[in-house]
């Protein structure tokens, strides 16, 4: 989202877009963050680590403390 927000003014000016691209991207970012259930994601990461049967099991860090 940060990268999209950074290049939005360039695209707005270059392609003569008649909308507030930065505002639209900010709204998308707010929506994305609101949709994420961090507790569920942590639980999913722990489950993944428990069922992971790969030589990389100890190298994959999806729920590091």
Cα dist from 43 to 26, 46, 50, whole Å: 28, 5, 11
Res 61: pLDDT: 60
Rg (CA), the chain: 19
* Cα dihedral value 38, 40, 46, 47, nearest 10: -160
pLDDT digit string (tens) for 13-43? 999 999 999 999 999 988 888 788 888 888 8
Q: How far is CA 20 from the centre of its chain?
A: 21
Res 28: pLDDT: 92
Task: Name the pLDDT band for 45 (thresholds 50, 70, 90).
Answer: confident
Tokens of 21: 């691209």
């Amino acid at each position: 989202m940060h990268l999209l927000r950074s290049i939005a003014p360039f695209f707005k000016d270059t392609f003569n877009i008649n909308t507030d691209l930065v505002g639209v991207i900010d709204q998308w970012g707010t929506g994305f963050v609101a949709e994420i259930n961090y507790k569920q994601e942590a639980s999913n990461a722990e489950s993944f680590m428990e069922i992971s049967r790969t030589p990389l099991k100890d190298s994959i860090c999806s729920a590091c403390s």
